[in-house]
């Protein structure tokens, strides 16, 4: 439609001062990436607890610490991205509940608070004032934290859905992508953290989650890439930035290869060879590539002129 219009009218903008600008840049990418790892680790810890809790003995403390650190990185970048960071408290004192930003800020704060309690229990096991059996309490709390991790990881998809101007970010696709980002990065992180503490069977289990998450996320991106343009003019124009010689085409494919395609291949190789190095490499690539994938998808709709 666009090209037909051009040919018929030869319309060229000769004055429009409000040029498109990237308002949500790499700070927001950091936010989504760190949150995926933080919540994903909790999901994996819960799965490990259900599958084989005896293997959790050396993993509770490092996993909760890494998750807590990643969630704090997420909060730090969220705060830093505000143009008025010292007014962050307005979210808690003047909350507007139709906004996914508000709901997310509250849930993430509670989530991080609970993680802090879990971390404190594990670090100060002997002197823990809260409970005499820190490990059992940790495991009980893990269930509720896992439940909370679901909306915490999903709420960014809610924000993207509320961004009416950006046609590319559709619900429920973004929700599924957020969950897959969490399972991909969470499984990768626990593989790296677990190392030799994990049995071969458990490693296989997490490798399967890593591979399947990569496959499903890749399918979703490719579906959008191939078929997205067939429904909406704005999506066509947005996807042009990652097609052909588009501004973000190279970065898009680097992300797809590093986050999804290579980890999928490496997981398949690991299942044949049982080489831990291959699995470690798959995990590192998945975590690094996820940042690139998220960044491209965040930026390209912002390049489109709105007026």
Partner 1 sequence: MQLGFLVDLHLCMGCKGCEIACKVENEVPLSTWRLRVKYVDVGTFPETKRTFTPLRCNHCENAPCERICPVSALHYIDNGIVNIDKERCIGCAGCVMACPYGAIYIDPETQTADKCTYCAHRIASSMMPACVVACPVGANIFGDLEDPKSNISIYIQEARGDVQVRKPEKGTNPHHFYTGAGNVHLNPLASQRIEGYNLFNKITHLPLGGHHE
Quote the least distance from Cβ 261 to partner 1, whole Å: 27
Pick the closer one to partner 1 by CB: 6 or 143: 6
Q: CB burial class (10 A; 0-12, 13-18, 19+) of residue 253?
A: middle
Residue with tokens 């003019």: 233
In the block, tokens 């690991």 appear at 270
Q: Which is nearer to partner 1, 1 or 200 (CB)?
A: 1
Q: How far is the CB of 301 from partner 1 (least distance, A)?
A: 9
Give the Cβ contact number of residue 149 at 10 Å.
Answer: 28
Least Å distance between CB 9 and partner 1? Answer: 5
Q: Between 50 and 87, whose beta carbon lies closer to partner 1? A: 87
Angle between helices 134-162 and 60-81 (to 10 degrees): 30
Report the distance separating Cα 161 and Cα 173, nearest Å.
10
Q: Tokens standing for 264? A: 């999928």
The distance of closest approach from Cβ of residue 296 to partner 1 in the complex, given in angstroms and rounded to an integer, is 13
CA 84 to mean position of chain CA atoms: 25
φ and ψ of 207, to 5 deg:
-65, -40
Comparing CA positions, the residue from 97, 93, 38, 39 lying closest to residue 70 is: 38
Q: Give min distance, CB of 85 to partner 1, in A.
A: 8
Nearer to partner 1, 54 or 307 (CB): 307
CA-atom Rg of the chain in angstroms: 21
Q: Give, for 285, the enclosing helix (H) or strand (E).
A: helix 276-299
Residue 122 has a CB neighbour count (10 Å cut-off) of 19
Calpha distance 278→210 (Å, rounded): 13
On whether the CB atoms of residues 225 and 239 are closer than 8 A, the answer is: yes
**Of 16 and 245, CB closest to partner 1:** 16
Applying CB under 8 A, which residues contact partner 1? 2, 5-6, 9-28, 80-85, 87-88, 90-91, 94-96, 98-102, 105, 159, 162-166, 233-234, 237, 302, 304-307
Residues in the chain: 307
C-beta of 49 vs 166, nearer to partner 1: 166
Q: Shortest approach of partner 1 to residue 81 CB, angstroms?
A: 6
Shortest spacing between CB 287 and partner 1, in angstroms: 21
Comparing CB distances to partner 1, the nearer of 19 and 129 is 19
DSSP state of 81: H
26 CB-contact burial (10 Å; exposed 0-12 / middle 13-18 / buried 19+): middle
CB of 201 to partner 1, least distance (A): 44
User: Which of 28/134 has CB closer to partner 1?
Assistant: 28
């Amino acid at each position: 439609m666009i090209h037909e219009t051009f040919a018929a009218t030869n319309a060229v903008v000769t004055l429009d001062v409000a040029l498109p600008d990237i308002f949500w840049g790499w700070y927001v990418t950091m936010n989504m990436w760190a949150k995926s790892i933080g919540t994903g680790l909790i999901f994996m810890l819960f799965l490990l607890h259900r599958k084989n809790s005896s293997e959790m003995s050396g993993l509770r403390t490092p996993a909760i610490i890494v998750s807590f650190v990643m969630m704090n990185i997420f909060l730090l970048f969220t705060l830093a991205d505000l143009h008025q960071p010292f007014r962050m408290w307005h979210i808690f004192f003047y909350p507007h509940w139709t906004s996914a930003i508000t709901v997310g800020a509250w849930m993430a704060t509670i989530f991080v608070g609970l993680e802090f309690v879990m971390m404190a229990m594990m670090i100060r096991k002997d002197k823990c004032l809260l409970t005499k059996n820190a490990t059992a309490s940790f495991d009980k709390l893990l269930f509720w934290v896992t439940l909370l991790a679901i909306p915490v990881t999903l709420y960014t998809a809610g924000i993207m859905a509320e961004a009416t101007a950006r046609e590319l970010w559709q619900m429920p696709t973004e929700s599924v992508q957020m969950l897959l980002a969490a399972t991909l990065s969470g499984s990768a992180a626990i593989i790296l953290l677990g190392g030799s503490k994990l049995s071969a069977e458990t490693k296989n289990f997490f490798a399967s989650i890593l591979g399947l998450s990569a496959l499903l996320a890749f399918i979703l991106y490719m579906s959008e890439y191939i078929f997205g343009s067939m429904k909406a003019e704005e999506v066509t124009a947005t996807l042009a930035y990652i097609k052909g010689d588009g501004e973000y085409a190279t970065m898009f494919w680097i992300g797809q290869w590093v986050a999804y395609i290579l980890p999928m291949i490496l997981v398949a190789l690991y299942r044949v060879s049982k080489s831990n190095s291959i699995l470690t490499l798959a995990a590192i690539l998945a975590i690094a590539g996820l940042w690139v994938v998220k960044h491209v998808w965040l930026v390209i709709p912002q390049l489109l002129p709105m007026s």
